[in-house]
Amino acid sequence: MSGLHRLTYVSRSVRLLNMPDFNVLLEQIRPKNKQLDITGLLLYKDKTFLQVLEGKLENINAVFEAIEHDPRHFKIKLLEHLQPCEERFFPNWSMGFFSLDDSFSMPSKFVDFFSPEFTLVSNSQYHDELVKLLLYFQKNS
């Protein structure tokens, strides 16, 4: 048996993306996630992605294996590596998406996951700040 898990990472896009690029990407992502019962959130700001994947352990592993090897991004840093969870933050989104502009300020004052200076020492280091961010977007879901 395998319960519900969550995986969250940040990465850098190899190039600046615009709305048509996101549409191509999301058209590829959403049907596959639906098939695998994966839900989540994809954020993009200043060439940084932050993605949350929610679902069964083996399904997250399968999808993340493909994501990790995707040449469209690099410098993948795991914020949460397969965190067991009771319920999903985004049960209705096969992949919610927001492209954030400079007017977006992080709900947490302490950490900006999108900053190029953002560094990570351990997976669990920013757990509370990450949950604040997820709750912020859950309100819009």
Q: Does 73 bind ligand FMN (CB under 6 A)?
A: yes
Nearer to ligand FMN, 85 or 128 (CB): 85
Whole-angstrom distance, CA of residue 141 vs CA of residue 126: 23
Residue 126 forms beta bridges with which residues? none
**What distance in Å separates the CA atoms of residue 77 and residue 23, rounded to the nearest whole number?**
24
Residue placing its CB nearer to ligand FMN in the complex, 32 or 132: 32
The token duo for 37 is 């019962």
C-alpha to C-alpha distance for 77 and 103, rounded to whole angstroms: 24
Name the residue among 47, 36, 46, 41 with its Cα closest to residue 8.
Answer: 41
Q: Does 8 bind ligand FMN (CB under 6 A)?
A: no
- Indicate whether 28 belongs to the interface with ligand FMN (CB under 6 A): yes
- Show the site string, 96-125: x = touches ligand FMN by CB under 6 A, - = not: ------------------------------
CB of 120 to ligand FMN, least distance (A): 17
Q: Is 66 in the site for ligand FMN (CB under 6 A)?
A: yes
Q: Which is nearer to ligand FMN, 53 or 133 (CB)?
A: 53
Q: What are the CB-based long-range contacts (under 8 Å, 24+) for 34-37?
A: 34/94, 36/62, 36/63
Q: Does 37 bind ligand FMN (CB under 6 A)?
A: no
The answer to the question of residue 75 lying near ligand FMN (CB under 6 A) is no
Residue-level length of the chain = 141
Q: Give the binding site for ligand FMN (CB under 6 A).
A: 28-29, 32-33, 42, 49, 51, 53, 63, 66-67, 70, 72-73, 95
